[in-house]
């Protein structure tokens, strides 16, 4: 090999080397100019169906904020991790986001069990988590901001609607056998009894995940509902099991006119993969429907469909929750002038941001937000027609007033209480474990 050492080549080499050096330096310098945002949603496994959409929503929101000039003069950078629908992995990934990537806040989790898994980590490292899904309540952490519905923002208004507008007298509480339906049904049962509904007019039924043989249960519902009194099913049935359930209802001739089913886990996204024929006329309670006709909502839908490059993609309730949560966080950071978690946590309380469906969402001292409650009937195009809505926003209540053990407990993260489980009777921060 003969390599002639010619000056031209030397020049080229130097240029290449220096550009290499420059390239390795630039990201380090850019790092000083960015604020990192963690996105903790499963991109694989059983929950990927629902959570991938939320990851895309976050990327869209961050992208938009950057187009507006970023935050505090810096660009936002999304750090996406995949906890793979594996609950302990949620905790590990949250730790990684906070210690390694040093994110300013995390947007993530779907199931209650994943949130419970992240909770100790986020409290230990004093991070911020925005949780966008409706849940069973009975929790308020200093580090978590709950932008989904608490039971009093979804389940209780739905029952009120059935009781007052549809004159329902007999109740079937049907759910999948895990923590969210069990806690929600416990609250609902206590609420119904407080309203004077008798024990014999309430039927409670639990089924395993992915249950597909609904014949006997639907036959029971039919029998229970044909006793001459108006009957409704309040369904906390989750995921896949819904399709065979509604199919069986249709086949056994139970129509929405006779026995309406109001569901808390069936939204636009779920309906887009279903044969909607047997579902038409059944109800769902949410804080957001894609069909709500407001300028803000139309703009949001357009933005989403343009971003995802699919004019048929639907929007849903947890997406709106992230939209509100992210914008609240942006406002709070601007207010605090820093991304320091302690300062942002304080600044978040009281921040207001308009809902897509009208009204103003406000971050309350208990880390929940105020939302309107909508009840809609399913149409055969997989959308909802709003049949009832609260005339103003409802404040989220962390601790249910209908369970005797949580009735005296409130959450208030402002001074002088500064506690997520303050017992108003004993005047103590009870330290009750959520």
Partner 1 sequence: MTTNHAKNDFKTLPLPEHTAGPVRRNGGVFKSLLSLARAAIWALFLLTFSANLAAQTGDDLPQPLEQLRLGSMAEREQAIEQLAEDSRNLKLLQALQDGQLMDWKAESRLVIASESAKGYNLRDPFDGKAVLADVERDAVGKLNLTNKLRSVLRKAIGGLQLNADSADMRLEAVKAIAKDADDKALQLLRKRLEKERDAAVLAAIQEALWLQDLNGDDKPARLAAITALKNINNQDAYNRLRELAEPDAEADPEVAEQARSAVKKIESRLQNYAAIETVFFGLSLGAVLVLASIGLAITFGVMGVINMAHGELMMLGAYTTYVMQQLLPEYLGTALIISIPMAFLVAALVGVIIERGIIRFLYGRPLETLLATFGVSLFLQQSVRSIFSPLNRSVSTPDWMSGSWQINDFLSLTWNRFYILIFCLLVFTALLQILKRTKLGLEVRAVAQNRGMARAMGIPTARVDAMTFGLGSGIAGVAGVALSQITNVGPNLGQAYIVDSFMVVVFGGVGNLFGTLVAGFSLGIANKFLEPYAGAVLAKILVLVFIILFIQKKPRGLFPQKGRAADG
Buried b (16+ CB within 10 A) or exposed e, 270-282: bbeebebebbeeb
Least distance CB 410 / partner 1 (angstroms): 35
The DSSP-derived string for 139-177 is: ---TTEEE-S--GGGTHHHHHHHHHHTS---EEEEEEES
Q: How far is the CB of 248 from partner 1 (least distance, A)?
A: 7
* Closest alpha carbon to 287 in 136, 396, 193: 396
Judge residue 245's burial from the number of C-beta atoms within 10 Å of its C-beta, 0-12 exposed, 13-18 middle, 19 or more buried: buried
In the complex, least distance from residue 238 CB atom to partner 1, rounded to whole angstroms: 13
Nearer to partner 1, 260 or 420 (CB): 260
For the bound state, the minimum distance from the C-beta of residue 405 to partner 1, rounded and expressed in Å, comes to 25
Residue number, 301 or 393, with CB nearest to partner 1:
301
Q: Which of 134, 233, 232 is nearest to 174 (CA)?
A: 233
- Strand (E) or helix (H) holding 64: helix 48-67
Q: What is the contact surface with partner 1 in residues (CB under 8 A)?
A: 46, 48-49, 177, 205-208, 210-213, 215-217, 219-220, 226-228, 240, 243-244, 247-248, 250-253, 256-257, 260, 273-275, 277-278, 280-281, 377, 379-381, 385, 387
- Indicate the residue among 301 and 324 with the shorter CB distance to partner 1: 301
**Full strand arrangement of the beta sheet holding 75-81:** 75-81, 34-40, 105-108, 129-131, 144-146
- Least distance to partner 1, CB of residue 282, Å: 9
> Which residues, 6 or more positions from 432, have their beta carbon under 8 angstroms from its beta carbon?
409, 421, 423
* 186 versus 362: smaller Cβ distance to partner 1: 186
Would you say 18 or 251 has its CB closer to partner 1? 251
Nearer to partner 1 by Cβ, of 96 and 240: the residue is 240
Residue 286 C-beta: closest distance to partner 1, Å: 17
């Amino acid at each position: 090999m003969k390599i002639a050492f010619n000056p031209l080549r030397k020049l080229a080499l130097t240029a290449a080397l220096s550009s290499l050096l420059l390239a390795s330096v630039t990201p380090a310098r850019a790092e000083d100019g960015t604020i990192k945002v963690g996105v903790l949603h499963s991109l694989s496994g059983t929950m990927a169906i629902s959570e991938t959409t939320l990851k895309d929503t976050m990327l869209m929101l961050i992208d938009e904020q950057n187009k507006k000039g970023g935050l505090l003069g810096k660009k936002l950078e999304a750090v996406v991790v995949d906890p793979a629908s594996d609950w302990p992995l949620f905790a590990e990934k949250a730790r990684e986001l906070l210690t390694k990537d040093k994110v300013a806040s995390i947007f993530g989790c779907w199931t209650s069990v994943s949130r419970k898994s992240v909770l100790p980590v986020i409290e230990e490292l004093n991070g911020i988590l925005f949780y966008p899904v409706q849940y069973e309540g009975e929790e308020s952490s200093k580090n978590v901001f709950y932008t989904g519905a608490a039971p009093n923002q979804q389940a209780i208004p739905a029952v009120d609607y059935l009781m007052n507008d549809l004159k329902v007298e007999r109740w079937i509480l049907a759910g999948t056998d895990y923590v969210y339906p069990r806690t929600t049904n416990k609250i609902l049962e206590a609420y119904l009894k407080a309203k004077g509904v008798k024990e014999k007019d309430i039927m409670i039924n639990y089924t395993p995940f992915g249950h597909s043989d609904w014949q006997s249960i639907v036959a029971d519902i039919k029998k229970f509902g044909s006793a001459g009194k108006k009957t409704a099913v309040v369904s906390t049935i989750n995921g896949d099991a819904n399709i065979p359930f509604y199919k069986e209802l249709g086949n056994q001739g139970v129509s929405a006119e006779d026995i309406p089913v109001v569901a808390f886990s069936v939204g636009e996204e779920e309906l887009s993969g279903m044969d909607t024929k047997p579902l038409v006329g059944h109800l769902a309670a949410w804080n957001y429907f894609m069909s709500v006709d407001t300028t803000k909502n139309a703009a949001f839908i357009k933005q989403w469909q343009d971003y995802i490059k699919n004019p048929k993609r639907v929007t849903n309730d947890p997406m709106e929750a992230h939209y509100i949560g992210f914008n609240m966080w942006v406002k709070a950071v601007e207010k605090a002038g820093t991304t320091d978690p302690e300062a942002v946590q304080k600044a978040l309380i009281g921040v207001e941001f308009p809902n897509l469906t009208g009204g103003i969402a406000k971050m309350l001292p208990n880390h929940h937000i105020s939302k309107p409650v909508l009840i809609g009937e399913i149409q055969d195009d997989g959308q909802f027609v709003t049949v009832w809505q609260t005339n103003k926003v409802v404040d989220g209540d962390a601790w249910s007033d209908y369970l005797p053990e949580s009735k005296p407990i409130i959450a208030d993260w402002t001074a002088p209480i500064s506690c997520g489980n303050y017992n108003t009777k004993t005047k103590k921060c009870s330290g009750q474990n959520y």
